[in-house]
Amino acid sequence: MRLLIIGAMDGQIGAASKIAMSRGAKVAIADDVDQGLDVLRGQGSDLVMIDVRRDVLKLVESLEAERIVVPVIACGIASDASAAVRAIKAGAKEYIPLPPDAELIAAVLAAVTEESHAILHKDPRMAQAMKLAEQVAGSHASILITGESGTGKELMARFIHDKSPRAKARFVAVNCAAIPENLLESELFGHEKGAFTGAVARRIGKFEEASGGTLLLDEISEMDIRLQAKLLRAIQEKEIDRVGGKQPVKVDCRIVATSNRNLEDYVRQGGFREDLYYRLNVVNLALPSLRERPLDIPVLAEHFIRKYSEANAIPVRPLAPEVRPMLVRHSWRGNVRELENTMHRAVLLATGNSIGPEAIILSGGLPSPADPVVSQVANTAAAVMSGAGTGMGLVGKTVAEVERDLIIDTLSHCLGNRTHAANILGISIRTLRNKLKQYSEEGVPVPPPAGEAGPDRVAL
């Protein structure tokens, strides 16, 4: 990780710098806030440690004004309680007392660098997406990740980066929907001093910051179509022009973009450039909605229960048995993000030894019974999880066995209609036929096609 220390290098601040370097951090030094800002504009940093004798408030306000996102940790002598209070009020995230403690410095660095981006899953649909992501991660191709809001597109982008040859370099994310249109160009490509009002110094953009690593363009469909032309050139030529600059700058970053829109439709509507779409869509990774991966719902729910129980110093309570079918059958229009909020709320509201229905507040409505894709998959998954229909739950079963049961149960529900079952399961008819052929060869009874009955008619 990259650490910027702002303060004099004599004595205790110098000792903190040596501890950080011994723990693997690349340390840059600045004597005052202005020098520190120059470092951040020119090369960026993952963490800033500042001596409380420097102007912490000026640093925080400057970072906000220039939209530089980096955590700030204040350092000062342990006996100076008032300085610690001033630093926290000014916007510092934490306060580290000096003389520096090696383990405390290490813990702060670990908190920044070892954030978990694990993707929990058990459902075959998500396992299929993870397999494709791992397969393409080692390439240098641009990847377009699509899916509804809250399905974990940024997490998937980080997973791809971590599995790629660029994993040791930076992962830089830009939310194209959150930055005003007139500022996004500068954010992406950087600017020279005086290029516009407020450009007080040269600043590198996200393309340069991510050079050697991965650049995530989150919700790229929200980018103004005029800026899309400049983005296309940057991707094709691997060079960018800073705002107000006279010379192009070479960059080398892998592009991962996300969108919650159907970009093909958006291209036809004129909202997105077709040439940029094809440049980004070398590999399309479509993430299933949470209602399409029902076997993941209990796994994620229990993860969030543990997470928020620990965060609120509350004993971990299990989900009551009657809650699981409630969760699986819910529509989850906000996907994993909505589930996380629901379980956070449930942890706070639960009063008994388990998290019961009274603690579960679901937003929106249940899926329509007329929606066969949602209702049948959810019902089948709920049955499997509760042990209904199969005589047992998931414990002791492999993913392949769960997948087989889901396919056979769905096919039975469709009275043997292969096309209908494939649509419900979200797989191609060819994949379904191959699975059924495999099961038949393994001696598993396969429902005959619709309109054909009898033990001696088992067509695939």
Task: Walk across the sheet containing 47-51 and list its strands.
Answer: 26-30, 2-6, 47-51, 72-77, 94-98
| Same-domain status, 128 and 257 | yes
Instruction: Please tell me the distance from the alpha carbon of residue 145 to that of residue 258, in angstroms, as a whole number.
Output: 5
CA angle 303, 307, 312 (to 5 degrees): 145
Say if 203 falls within a structural domain. yes
Instruction: Please tell me the distance from the alpha carbon of residue 214 to that of residue 254, in angstroms, as a whole number.
Output: 5
Instruction: Please tell me the distance from the alpha carbon of residue 299 to that of residue 437, in angstroms, as a whole number.
Output: 31
Cα-only R_g, the chain: 26
| Same-domain status, 149 and 269 | yes
pLDDT, tens digit, for every residue of 260-275?
A: 999 999 999 999 999 9
pTM tops 0.75, yes or no: no
The CATH number of residue 109's host domain is: 3.40.50.2300
Residue 390 is predicted with a pLDDT of 42
Number of domains in the chain: 3
Residue 199 is predicted with a pLDDT of 80
Residue 393 is predicted with a pLDDT of 54
Residue 109 is predicted with a pLDDT of 72
Written as six digits, the tokens of 139 are: 């390439």
| Same-domain status, 232 and 198 | yes
Q: Which residue's entry shows tokens 């049961």? A: 405
Domain boundary among 87, 113, 139: 113
Residue 379 is predicted with a pLDDT of 54
Instruction: Please tell me the distance from the alpha carbon of residue 129 to that of residue 284, in angstroms, as a whole number.
Output: 10
- Domain extent at residue 301: 290-368
Say if 442 falls within a structural domain. no
Residue 108 is predicted with a pLDDT of 75
| Same-domain status, 84 and 165 | no
Instruction: Please tell me the distance from the alpha carbon of residue 116 to that of residue 350, in angstroms, as a whole number.
Output: 27
Residue 94 is predicted with a pLDDT of 83
| Same-domain status, 145 and 211 | yes
Instruction: Please tell me the distance from the alpha carbon of residue 358 to that of residue 83, in angstroms, as a whole number.
Output: 46
pLDDT, tens digit, for every residue of 368-393?
A: 333 444 444 555 555 544 544 444 45
For 215, left (φ over 0), alpha (ψ -120 to 50), or beta?
beta
Instruction: Give the β-pairing of 2-6 and 26-30.
Output: parallel
Say if 324 falls within a structural domain. yes
Identify the segments of the chain with pLDDT beneath 50. 365-376, 384-385, 387-392, 452-460
Instruction: Please tell me the distance from the alpha carbon of residue 253 to that of residue 168, in angstroms, as a whole number.
Output: 13
Say if 387 falls within a structural domain. no
| Same-domain status, 242 and 350 | no
Residue 380 is predicted with a pLDDT of 52
Residue 366 is predicted with a pLDDT of 45
Instruction: Please tell me the distance from the alpha carbon of residue 8 to that of residue 27, in angstroms, as a whole number.
Output: 14
| Same-domain status, 151 and 245 | yes
Closest CA to 296 of 402, 209, 373, 450: 402
Domain boundary among 269, 286, 303: 286
